[in-house]
Structure 1
Amino acid sequence: MKKTSSWLATVAVLWAAANALTAHAQGVIKIGEVNSYKAQPAFLEPYRKGLELAVDQVNASGGVNGKKLELVIRDDNGNPGDAVRAAEELISREKVDVLTGTFLSHVGLALTDFAKQRKFFFLAAEPLTDKIVWQNGNKYTYRLRPSTYMQVAMLVPEAAALKKKRWALVYPNYEYGQSAVATFKELLKAAQPDVEFVTEQASPLGKVDSGSVVQALADAKPDAIFNVLFGPDLSKFVREGNTRGLFQGREVVSLLTGEPEYLDPLKDETPNGWIVTGYPWYSIQTPEHKAFRSAYEAKFKDYPRLGSVVGYSAIMSLAEGMKKAKSTETEKLVAAFKGLQLMTPFGQITYRPEDNQSTMGGYVGRTKNEGGKGVMVNYHYLDGAKYQPSAAEVAKRRAVD
């Protein structure tokens, strides 16, 4: 009799626990986040803070469709295989409702394909390669950050206005760098038919041999340089280029260099006058940015980086999509994101039905070494919608869903 009572008590406890877990799950929307936190901390530590701020704000306002948001984060080690395994574990074991994240383009492409195979909603927050929304695009994958094409298109009018004929190219030799250089050559040649590309220096990501790269660039005697290096590679390149006088008398157009993640570490080595894309957080006065910056600084006692904006806007995009869909079901989210509009720290954006790419724009300006610290000056914000190919052009480039 005692054994029976004990067994019944155990069953009752397990049943109660199961009910509690079910009730918890019913009251929570799980967002699976996969990213290269260990491999790319400069961008992704602020990005994670942006995620957390947005989750806090959404939950404080009542959540989404009556449910609170919960982040479930996994590190992909900057490796496509690890990213796919992490995503599979998040779906199968953690029962997440959606996937988001990734930083490196080849990792983002791996999860883009995974989303297609699993028919599962994926918001690529940060990876820049155009293949995510074009050649490898699919109905289950949307992308937030301005693409490689968009950011290069923002820089090309500035580059063409320099009227420099001989250009050198330096970039990390993986999907993002290759894509950026191919787009720059295509768009600059269209704007300035007589342009010449006199040398290309492609370095393994994170392993630039700055001495040989700078020497090769100098030997080619270019009039101007297009740089796509970022992170520690950028710092090494700038230091060696300053030492050898590579930048003296030469214009430099540089993708991403104005982002505080990469500009701040240059400190007193910051070159003057480079044309860059970036994020001058310290002087943007729009109401939406001031509100974001104030909340971010209050929570973290730190200033925002571009990663902060991307992480924050990714969560806000998912929240708005779920509200519009009134669901977290994949097919309903896919439909809801078509033409989805929301406000971000950079203003209103739209997810284009043509290619699932958001219209988030970017800031273009010049670098200035101001008292031993790099800043952006003479900058202006460019609406991403104006730097995307037409719907007809996208149809040629995009894979069939």
Structure 2
Amino acid sequence: MGHSTSTAGWRKTLLSTATTVAIATSGAMAFSQAANAQETFKVGLVTFLSGGASGPFGVPAAQAAETVIKAINAGELPAPYNTPGVNGLQLESVVIDEAGGPTKQVEEYRNLVQRQNVNAVIGYISSGDCLAVGPVAEELKTFTIAFDCGTPRMFEELKNPAYFFRTGLDAVADNVGAVHYLKEMHGDAKRIAGIQQNYAWGQDSWLDFTLSLEQLMPEAEIVNNQTPQIFAGSYGTEISALQTRRPEIIHSSMWGGDMESFVSQANARGLLGQATALLTTGESGLHRFDGQAPNGTILGGRGPFGAFMPENDLSEWFNKAYEAEHGTKPSYPSSKMAQAILALKFAADNSGADGVPSSEQLAASLKGAEFESVSGTVRMALAGGHQALQDMLYGEYHYTPGQGAELRNIRAYAGECVSAPDGVNAQQWIKDGFPGAKCD
């Protein structure tokens, strides 16, 4: 694909910078090194820099980190983040490639904490990586923010975390919101199919979607669900199987390169002329499809991110700064990375620490907090104050040659409408008919 060169170029620049910093530091006197250690806050950033998830997901997230960290260090962000640095310290990043799977990521995490001596870690797009790293963050007592990974199992398996946080939403909100949107915009649809990557994220997404469908659109029939391996890239067999079932709606939680490949192949084969695709992560392709997705395709951005960001001083600054530096509008992975870094600055600035805040101070500061972001006000209201609660939004893709893509018919569903109350099992909550849900 045409994105490999820019990705390689971006990595080369980053590595050159890192090398320069390393050489400069090693050549300095011990006094300078000691002073430097006290004057910086070191954060590990983990995102896909190679593989199928890098172009649409990992690199935009890394670019967002670069833009936001630079502005934080210069004190150029809008209020309430207009003080330079985090707790007055310059923010230094060590960027790690998330490619390689959970076992490799656990090794990389240990390396960041025990050898690179980072003060905190922000990262993880893949749910498998998140599930593997969470317990290690607790073991090593290191303040860690998952900026994207969406598995609802995260805080079911990691009970009573002290150090691990997620500043985005989980797949429950994605899929409950998706069915609310279908009911509102395609309420007469009867034949529903799906295609999901065959691992925790895809399985959980489909379960939450189908359970919600039973509650909100009981007349609808599930006619098929295909489960290719993650990063398969070629979906001819699955597309043929879906076509024979004549669905009206095709739900997919596939993300990154997989999602884009499926849309392109399904569109070319005529499947998306017969059925409307509902893509829970589709916003990442908004400015990349270039008309390859049919108008009317339903896109989600996993919350109020990317093109779904509300208008506020932070989102206005972020849109302009990101586009000026990277030549395209920020997608939802970019926005979610920006949000996680703002959460880190909020936690550090409000930690009460003298100098570098400890992981305990950062965690105490973020737990149950409300902070401002590019997405509006974020409430850390779930998982005992470790998980964000926000609205879920969906809209329709429309592409006009010469003018580009836009979202139409956007609808927002309140956080209390699409997420289970704190401490309640999400699947049981859906099966019970969403008790306590507040949907306007």
TM-score scaled to structure 2, two decimals? 0.80
Q: Does 1:252 align with 2:277?
A: yes
Residue 337 of structure 1 corresponds to 366
Give SS of 1:203's match.
coil
Q: Match of 1:28, as an amino acid?
A: T
Change (3 A) 1:174 1:296: same
- Identical pairs, percent: 24
Amino acid at match of 1:377: R
Match of residue 31, structure 1, among 27, 43, 49: 43
**How far apart, in 2, do the equivalents of 1:254 and 1:300 lie?**
25
CA change 1:205–1:394 in 2 (3 A) is: same
Aligned counterpart in structure 1 of residue 112 of structure 2, from 62, 77, 90: 90
Matches within 5 A, 1:321-332: 321-327=347-353, 328-332=357-361
95-104 or 137-146: bigger deviation: 137-146
More deviation, 269-278/358-367: 358-367
- Note if contact 2:306-2:332 (Cα within 8 Å) is conserved in structure 1: no
- Which shifted more, 301-310 or 197-206? 301-310
Aligned to 1:140: 163
Structure 2: any 5+ residue segments left out of the alignment?
1-25, 76-83, 429-440
**Match in the other structure for 1:21:** 33
Structure 2: which amino acid aligns with 1:165? K
Which of these residues, 71, 80, 97, is aligned with residue 93 of structure 2? 71
Closer/same/farther in 2, CA of residues 57 and 394 from structure 1, 3 Å limit: farther
2:21 match: none
Give the whole-Å Cα distance in 2 for the aligned partners of 1:237 and 1:190. 28
For 1:77 and 1:354, the matched residues in 2 are separated by: 28
The 1:315–1:173 alpha-carbon spacing in structure 2 relative to 1, beyond 3 Å, is same
Residue 175 of structure 1, CA deviation: 1.6
Q: Which amino acid aligns with 2:315?
A: H
Task: State whether residues 203 and 209 of structure 1, in contact with CA within 8 Å, keep that contact through their aligned partners in structure 2.
Answer: no
Give the superposition deviation at 1:364: 1.1
Distance in 2 (CA, whole Å) between partners of 1:25 and 1:283 is 36
Structure 2 Cα separation of the partners of residues 310 and 291 of structure 1: 15
Specify the alignment match of 1:281 in structure 2: 307
Q: 2:59 aligns with which of 23, 45, 49?
A: 45
Greater mean deviation of Cα atoms: 129-138 or 178-187: 129-138
- Report Cα offsets for 1:43-65 as digits up to 9, x if no partner: 12121121122212222222222
Contact 2:309 2:375 in 1 (8 A): no
Does structure 1 residue 297 correspond to structure 2 residue 289?
no
Map of 2:293 onto structure 1: 270
**Contact 2:125–2:148 (Cα < 8 Å) also in 1:** yes
Partner SS for 2:99: coil
Instruction: Please tell me whether the aligned partners of residues 40 and 89 of structure 2 are also in contact (alpha carbons under 8 angstroms).
Output: yes
| Rg larger in structure | 1
State the Cα distance separating 1:381 from its structure 2 match: 4.2
| SS in structure 2 at match of 1:379 | strand
Letter matched to residue 267 of structure 1: D
The whole-number CA distance in structure 2 between the counterparts of 1:270 and 1:339 is 40
Could you tell me how far apart the structure 1 residues matched to 2:141 and 2:426 are?
A: 22
Query: If the length of structure 1 is used for normalisation, what is the TM-score?
Result: 0.87
Q: Residue by residue, what CA displacement relative to the aligned partner does 1:291-318 show, whole Å, maximum 9, x if unpaired?
A: 2212323444443222221221111100
Per-residue CA deviation, residues 324-367 of structure 1 (Å, 9 max, x unaligned), is: 22242122222211122221111111112544111244431011
Q: Show the counterpart of 1:179.
A: 204
Could you tell me how far apart the structure 1 residues matched to 2:416 and 2:119 are?
29
Distance 2:275 2:98 in 1: 39
Letter in 2 for 1:370: T
**Structure 2 counterpart of 1:54:** 68
SS at match of 2:165: strand
Looking at structure 2, the residues matched to 80 and 19 of structure 1 have their Cα atoms a distance apart, in angstroms, of: 39
Q: CA deviation at 1:384?
A: 3.5
1:3 corresponding residue in structure 2: none
**Corresponding residue to 2:377 among 343, 348, 372:** 348
Counterpart in the other structure of 2:338: 312
Deviation at 1:151, TM superposition (A): 1.4
SS at structure 1 position matched to 2:340: helix
Give the count of matched residue pairs.
Answer: 381
* Aligned-partner Cα distance in 2 for 1:64–1:234: 36
Runs of 4+ in 1 over 6 A off after TM superposition: none
SS of the equivalent of 1:294 reads helix
Q: In structure 2, how many angstroms separate the alpha carbons of the residues matched to 1:396 and 1:184?
A: 10
Take 2:308 and 2:389, find their aligned partners in 1: how far apart are those partners? 23
Residue 103, structure 1, aligned to residue 125, structure 2: yes
Alpha-carbon distance in 2 for matches of 1:395, 1:345: 27
> How far off is 1:382 after superposition?
4.2
- One-letter amino acid of the structure 1 residue matched with residue 149 of structure 2: P
| Alignment-derived partner of residue 384 in structure 1 | 415
Indicate how the Cα distance of structure 1 residues 286 and 64 shifts in structure 2: closer, same or farther if over 3 A, else same. closer
Alpha-carbon offset, residue 215 of structure 1: 1.0
Q: 1:251 to 1:34 in 2, by over 3 A?
A: closer
Q: Distance in 2 between matches of 1:185 and 1:27?
A: 51
Write out aligned runs for 1:117-132 (5 A).
117-132=139-154
CA distance 1:28–1:291, shift in 2 (3 Å):
same
1-structure distance, mates of 2:426, 2:352: 30
